[in-house]
Amino acid sequence: MTGREIDQQRSLAAADGRRSACAAGILALVCAAQFMVVLDVSVVNVALPSIKRSLDFSAAALPWVATSYALAFGGFLLLGGRLADLYGHRRVFVAGLAVFTAASLAGGLATTAGLLIGARAVQGLGAAVLAPVTLTVLTVTFPEGAARTRALAIWTAVSLAGGAAGNLVGGALTEYLSWRSILLVNVPIGVTALAAARLLPGGTVPGRAGRLDVPGAVLATLGLVAITYALSPSESRPGAVTAALWAAGTLAVAAFAVVEARLAAWPLLPPRLLRRRAVWLGNGVMLLAGAAFQVPMWYFLTLYMQNVLNLDALQTGLGFLPHTVLTLLIGLRVTPRLMRHVDTRVLIVAGVWIAAAGFAWQSQITADDTYWSGVLGPAVLMSVGGALFNTPLTSIVTSGVHAADAGVASGLMNTAKQVGGAVGLAALVALTTAPASGAASVEAALAAQYGQAFALTAGVLMVVGALAFALPPRRDDTGTARPRFAGPARSPGSGMQE
């Protein structure tokens, strides 16, 4: 080998090293942003009793500290995904992160219930812009195959762990500082991430043109807000108002469908995307799964541990540690390896039904239980099941999507998850507010209500598992459907190595 050839090989190796380092840096940055966004879905849960006392929240208004964030997040995610396609990943990432960070500061300094709910809604808007671009960056940085599977596994595990860790972080901050710190902590993290945003690609997708479908975004959000508010319980709201909310929400959603299919020149949700079974059915499965995992699980478990088991904020946060550890362990180490050998549909069904068994077990809680008998065992099944099915489901929903639609596909998937969480929480709260008859104590009545919520969730997950059988198989990087049991998938090197 000549000296020139040796120099060329060294140059190529150095370039590969730089690309690998750049890809690893991008992965770390987008995962950090996604962690922060998902963390704020659940971080307020443990602090809710403190927030209620501090800002004099009513019992009916308190769930809106979580719901306002989830609704704005879910309602504007499609718009956020479209922004990433049109205006470039780096620019949209910076804009979303700046809004999210500023709203976190405003929420941490809020002095009234209305200001806090408003700040949380703006936080959700920033998250809606930020979250789709994190997934879009991964899908354009890592080609389909082993490298993308690994990156998606990390992103998904971080997302799931963010929900679990939110309770631990919220508990510690509330106990040792105040509930305000759970929002203010986002400020230094956001500023640091903004400084690192130069790592991200700045261009748009070649050939992508058009304009924003603002009417579509407004109609989708109004419909979701109206339906969720109609679902939420209220002793003082007349039945006619609830009926009007249902009608308005249904009309807004119907109008959104008409606008997207016939009127919008550049629809927020292109009809061609919904012709793919992996997209429409996969997102339907994601929506129903989100109704169990995204918000409701943390909400009801938090209330059970604090109101029935009488744990303080820190103890409640620590109570979620098994959820966090198991989610990371299974999601990062086990699921990616299984995906190389087992059909993704098998993993999805198995994971969903394992989680359903956990929720069914959790529904048996009583006022006489302890943390060890009432929470820890179900936590194992729920966390293992959730970590098993989320990465395969994400892989199916995002595989085979053209680069020009990567942003909207990411936004649609996140929309399904967040809207499922918001609507699921409102529905479960409405269905479980009636006091249990014949309960021996307040704690026994509350345990029965929370147990009913977990039982309903288990039923929803059983339906999700049945629907998952109809999902198409995930295709490998050659476009070939993977067999049910196959050897390891191989893909060209791309910055992330197995």
Mean pLDDT value across the chain: 78
Q: Is the pLDDT of residue 74 over 60?
A: yes
Which of 111-125, 169-183, 276-290, 386-400 is most confident?
A: 111-125
Per-residue pLDDT at 34: 82
Per-residue pLDDT at 163: 67
Q: Print burial letters for 73-87: b (CB count within 10 Å at least 16), e (below 16).
A: bbbbbbbbbbbbbbb
Cβ pair 408, 269 in contact under 8 A: yes
Q: Is the pLDDT of residue 481 over 70?
A: no
Per-residue pLDDT at 486: 41
DSSP 45: T
Instruction: Quickly count: other Cβ atoms within 10 Å of residue 22's Cβ.
Output: 14
CA atoms within 13 A on the CB side of 181: 11
Per-residue pLDDT at 132: 78
Percent of the chain surpassing pLDDT 90:
14
Which of 11-15, 20-24, 250-254, 317-321 is most confident?
A: 250-254
Cβ pair 446, 453 in contact under 8 A: no
> How big, in percent rounded to 5, are the helix, strand and coil portions of the chain?
75, 0, 25
CA dihedral 261, 262, 265, 269 (to 10 degrees): -10
Per-residue pLDDT at 202: 57
List the single range of 48-62, 259-273, 313-327 with lowest mean pLDDT: 259-273
User: pTM for the full model?
Assistant: 0.70
**Amino acid symbol at 14:** A
Give the residues across from 485 on adjacent strands: 342
